[in-house]
Amino acid sequence: MKKRALGTNGLEVSSIGYGAMGLSHGYGPATERQQAVALVRAAFERGVTFFDTAQIYGAENEEIVGEALAPFRGQAVIATKFAFDLDAPAGHQVLNSRPENIRKVTEGSLRRLRVDAIDLYYQHRVDPNVPIEDVAGTIKELIAEGKVRHFGLSEAGVQTIRRAHAVQPVAAVQSEYSLWWREPEQAVLPTCEELGIGFVPFSPLGKGFLTGKITESTEFGRGDLRGTTFPRFTRENIRANQAFVEVIQQVAARKRATPAQIALAWLLAQKPWIVPIPGTTKLNRLEENLCAADVELSPDDLHDIDGAAARITIHGDRYPAHLQARVGR
């Protein structure tokens, strides 16, 4: 697996990472624990050195990543995220980035991940009740204490990124970015390039839509947020958006690749400091995703993809209003 530098702070990772969220959260019933551990280890054995989890995905998610990578300590970069009150009632996500809460939840992550220091620690969502300077200052202290190595932000707006970076250099910004959601190109990516910050796209396959495996007849299982929460996954919007998948399928056929590989290769071709983190619960999909690192898209390929995509109107919002209100602050 090729390596990439995430920004200019000395953080080097595999060109494709692994997002662990779906192992226990968001996309249906949790994967059996030892099966999940085996999948994370399989990713490492196939060259992945960048793994993404978060406190809000549930304690087991961090524990799975920690158990799986314990034999490879020092060889993998583990990213996790803070920003929520973990003592809030079940089913309630309450933002809390007060310095005392950051310190409290950090100890839990260190224990669950089985590490002495968190390699990359993102603020999961910007907390409007806590100045970002206080957040960045707390992380700066944790870095000085040896409990954190690098600071990151997730779904933050440009001014927040700049203010945080002035206090503690931001190593990476994580936001949704794919052929299906290109808003970061407007301001966030140029800011990252200016400041020397790496960019980590989550949902690089459009929550599975860009694989071509989801149709209007797809039945989402219990606990799968695509069936209950995300507007783009109503039957009507799935049907309307199939034209987008067809564009990717045409390029995939020409390149003898899969649609997922084309979608990931497109991201890799945008900037050398972009590292997508596709997630999966299946070994064959993991291997398929990682092979995207070897797919070379020519300037003509990229021109064809961008030109065709520009002529298609995407139907459906990315998030419902209450979740959209938490991003881009």
Kindly list the catalytic residues.
57
Question: CA 244, CA 248: separation in Å to the nearest integer?
Answer: 7
Helical H runs in the chain? 33-45, 59-69, 99-113, 132-144, 158-167, 188-195, 235-255, 259-270, 283-290, 299-310, 321-324
Number of residues assigned to the chain:
329
- Angle at 155 (CA atoms; ends 99, 118), nearest 5 degrees: 50
The H or E element containing residue 3 is strand 3-5
The phi and psi torsions of 172 (rounded to 5 degrees) equal: -155, 145
The angle at the Cα of 96, spanning 92 to 101, to the nearest 5 degrees, equals 120
Residue 38 near residue 46, CB atoms below 8 Å:
no
CA 256 to mean position of chain CA atoms: 27
8 Å CB contact between 13 and 150: no
